[in-house]
C-alpha cells in the first residue's frame, strides 16, 4: 500500500496566526481543547467553530424525553443537535438537516465519532423548507428546532464570502454548489432592485447612496466580485458623513448590506415562510418547536405565523414574548447578542 506523503503544517509569521487557514489548533477543537477554551474565555469564537446559542433555554422549551423523535432544521456545527441527542439517553431519534455540503459533512463525522450512529441520528442534505418531505420518510416529530443564524464556520472561512472583514470572493451562498453567488446577483439586477433589497432585507438607511456608488463602479468596469471591493464601495458611498461618525456608520452599513445580499441569494424569507406554513403538519399533538432568529424581519415572520396558528387553534400555546440570551452568554459569545427565541406547542 502506497504511503501518504506527510503534509507539513502551514507556517505563519509572528506569535499568533492571523489567516484562517493558519489557525490549525482552533480548526481542530477536539485535538486542541485548551486553545479553544482560551479563545472562548476571551469572548471570541474560535476559527472553524460555532458556539451554540441559548442551549439551556431551548432545552427548557423542548422538554425532550427518551424515545421521542426530533428535528434540527439547521444542523450547522451540531452543538444543539448533540445536546438534544444527549437528552434522548439512547432512545429515540433526531434528524438533522442542512444545505451546506461542506460544513455538514464535518459535523456528521464529528457526531458519529461521538457515538451517535444512524439509529439515533440521521442526516439529510436538504433545505428546511422541505420538512414535509422529511416527515414523509420519518413520520411526525415531537420536538423541532430551527436556528436561523449563519454558522461561525461559514463566517470565518474567507472562501465563503460571508464577512466584510476579510478578503474573499463575494459569494454568500449557504450551498456554494447551487444558485447565483452574491457577485453574480449584483451583476444581474438593476440599481432600483438593489435599493429595494437593502431596504426590505436590512433597513439600510443609506441604500440609495450605496446603490449609486456600486452601480457607478460596475458601469466603469470595476468588478464587484470580492468582499473587500463591496466594502470599499460602501465606504466610498458614505464619504460625506462627519469624520467622527463615519467609521461606525461604515461598519453598520457593511453588516446590513452583506446581510441583505445573503438573505436574497439564499431566498431566506421565502424559505422561512414555506417552513412556517408546513411546520404544524409535521408536529405530533403536543409537539414543541423552538426558533432562534437574528434580525427583525425573521422575527416578524415567526411571530405572525405563531399568532395566526394560535388564533386558528392549531397551536395550543405560543411564546408571549421573545426570550433573549443572558448578559453572561452575550459576554462569552458576542455573536449571540441579536438572538431572539420564540416557541410554540402543537394542539
Count of C-beta atoms within a 10 Å radius of residue 262 = 21
> How far is 250 from 256, CA to CA, in rounded Å?
10
Task: Classify 16 as helix, strand or coil.
Answer: coil
Per-residue pLDDT of 267-314, as tens digits, reads: 999 999 999 999 999 999 999 999 999 988 999 999 999 999 999 999
For domain 176-265, give its CATH number from 1.10.510, 1.10.287, 1.10.8, 1.10.150. 1.10.150
| Residue 56: predicted pLDDT | 95
Question: Which residues in 152-210 belong to E strands, given as ranges?
Answer: none
Q: Are 191 and 217 in contact (CB under 8 A)?
A: no
Task: Classify 147 as helix, strand or coil.
Answer: strand
Decide: pTM greater than 0.85.
Answer: no
Nearest residue to 182 (alpha-carbon basis) of 76, 260, 271, 270: 260
> How far is 323 from 70, CA to CA, in rounded Å?
22
Task: Classify 346 as helix, strand or coil.
Answer: strand
E strand or H helix that includes residue 278: helix 268-278
Residue 39 backbone dihedrals phi, psi, to 5 degrees: -65, -45
All cell numbers assigned to 326:
443572558
> How far is 10 from 24, CA to CA, in rounded Å?
8
| Residue 32: predicted pLDDT | 55
User: At a CB cut-off of 8 Å and minimum separation 6, what does 219 contact?
Assistant: none
> How far is 247 from 288, CA to CA, in rounded Å?
43
Q: What is the pLDDT along the chain (347 residues), one digit of tens a residue?
A: 444 455 555 555 555 555 555 554 555 555 655 555 555 455 454 555 558 899 999 999 999 999 999 999 999 889 999 999 999 999 999 999 999 888 899 999 999 999 999 999 999 999 999 999 999 999 999 999 999 987 766 667 777 877 888 899 999 998 988 999 999 999 999 999 999 999 999 999 999 999 999 999 999 999 999 999 999 999 999 999 998 999 999 999 999 999 999 999 999 999 999 999 999 999 999 999 999 999 889 999 999 999 999 999 999 999 999 999 999 999 888 888 989 999 999 99
Nearest residue to 53 (alpha-carbon basis) of 344, 342, 335: 335
> How far is 229 from 213, CA to CA, in rounded Å?
12
E strand or H helix that includes residue 38: helix 33-41
For domain 55-152+277-346, give its CATH number from 3.30.160.100, 3.40.50.2300, 3.40.50.920, 3.40.50.150. 3.40.50.150
Residue extents of the structural domains in the chain? 14-37+44-49, 55-152+277-346, 176-265
CA end-to-end span of the chain: 60
CA distances to 33, 145, 181, 219, 224 from 187, rounded to whole Å, are: 44, 36, 10, 10, 8
| Residue 41: predicted pLDDT | 53
| Residue 295: predicted pLDDT | 87
Q: Are 148 and 291 in contact (CB under 8 A)?
A: yes
| Residue 1: predicted pLDDT | 45
Residue 184 backbone dihedrals phi, psi, to 5 degrees: -65, -40
Q: Are 166 and 227 in contact (CB under 8 A)?
A: yes
Task: Classify 211 as helix, strand or coil.
Answer: helix
Per-residue pLDDT of 238-261, as tens digits, reads: 999 998 999 999 999 999 999 999
CA distances to 108, 195, 271 from 206, rounded to whole Å, are: 42, 9, 27
| Residue 103: predicted pLDDT | 87
> How far is 56 from 218, CA to CA, in rounded Å?
48
Amino acid at each position: 500500500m502506497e504511503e501518504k506523503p506527510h503534509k507539513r503544517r502551514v507556517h505563519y509569521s509572528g506569535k499568533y496566526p492571523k489567516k484562517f487557514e493558519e489557525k490549525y489548533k482552533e480548526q481542530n477543537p477536539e485535538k486542541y481543547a485548551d486553545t479553544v477554551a482560551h479563545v472562548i474565555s476571551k469572548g471570541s469564537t474560535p476559527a472553524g467553530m460555532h458556539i451554540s446559542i441559548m442551549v439551556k433555554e431551548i432545552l427548557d422549551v423542548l422538554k425532550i424525553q427518551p424515545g421521542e423523535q426530533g428535528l434540527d432544521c439547521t444542523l450547522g456545527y451540531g452543538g444543539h443537535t448533540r445536546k438534544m441527542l444527549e437528552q434522548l439517553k439512547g432512545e429515540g431519534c433526531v434528524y438533522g438537516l442542512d444545505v451546506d455540503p461542506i460544513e455538514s459533512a464535518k459535523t456528521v463525522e464529528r457526531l458519529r465519532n461521538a457515538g451517535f450512529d444512524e439509529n439515533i441520528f440521521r442526516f439529510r442534505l436538504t433545505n428546511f423548507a422541505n420538512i414535509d418531505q422529511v416527515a414523509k420518510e420519518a413520520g411526525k416529530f415531537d420536538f423541532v428546532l430551527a436556528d436561523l443564524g449563519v454558522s461561525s464556520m461559514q463566517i470565518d472561512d474567507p472562501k465563503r464570502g460571508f464577512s466584510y472583514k476579510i478578503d474573499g470572493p463575494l459569494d454568500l451562498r449557504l450551498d456554494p454548489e447551487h444558485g447565483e453567488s452574491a457577485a453574480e446577483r449584483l451583476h444581474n439586477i438593476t440599481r432600483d432592485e438593489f435599493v429595494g433589497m437593502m431596504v426590505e432585507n436590512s433597513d439600510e438607511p443609506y441604500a440609495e447612496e450605496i446603490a449609486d456608488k456600486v452601480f457607478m463602479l460596475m458601469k466603469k468596469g470595476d468588478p464587484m466580485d470580492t468582499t473587500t471591493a463591496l466594502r470599499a464601495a460602501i465606504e466610498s458611498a458614505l464619504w460625506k458623513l462627519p469624520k467622527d461618525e463615519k467609521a461606525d456608520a461604515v461598519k453598520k452599513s457593511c453588516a446590513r448590506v452583506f446581510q441583505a445580499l445573503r438573505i436574497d441569494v439564499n431566498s431566506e424569507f421565502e424559505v422561512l415562510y414555506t417552513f412556517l406554513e408546513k411546520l404544524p403538519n409535521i408536529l405530533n399533538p403536543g409537539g414543541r418547536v423552538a426558533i432562534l432568529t437574528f434580525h427583525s424581519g425573521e422575527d416578524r415572520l415567526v411571530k405572525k405565523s405563531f399568532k395566526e396558528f394560535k388564533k386558528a387553534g392549531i397551536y395550543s400555546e405560543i411564546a408571549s414574548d421573545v426570550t433573549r440570551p443572558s448578559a453572561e452568554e452575550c459576554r462569552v459569545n458576542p455573536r449571540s447578542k441579536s438572538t431572539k427565541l420564540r416557541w410554540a406547542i402543537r394542539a
